[in-house]
Amino acid sequence: MAAYFAMRIMLGKLDYVAVVSLYPQFKADIDAILVADGKQELIAE
């Protein structure tokens, strides 16, 4: 599920803050995927 969220965030279809606030259990995995793909600028704290 985290991979799906990360992909949709990278495509601009989902907002990072909205996803992490609704599904905080996936935050660490989403962050790891975004960093691994070089998209760390999409991580909003």
Read off the pLDDT of residues 24-36 as tens digits, 9 standing for 90 and up.
999 999 999 999 9
Does residue 16 register a pLDDT over 90?
Answer: yes
Domain span at residue 19 reads 2-42
Report the percentage of the chain scoring pLDDT > 70.
100
Q: Report the candidate in 1, 12, 36 with the shortest Cα–Cα distance to residue 27.
A: 1
Q: Which two tokens stand for residue 6?
A: 């990360």
Structural domain total, the chain: 1
CA–CA distance from 36 to each of 3, 15, 22, 39 (Å)?
12, 19, 23, 8
Contact between residue 35 and residue 26 where contact means Cβ atoms under 8 Å apart: no
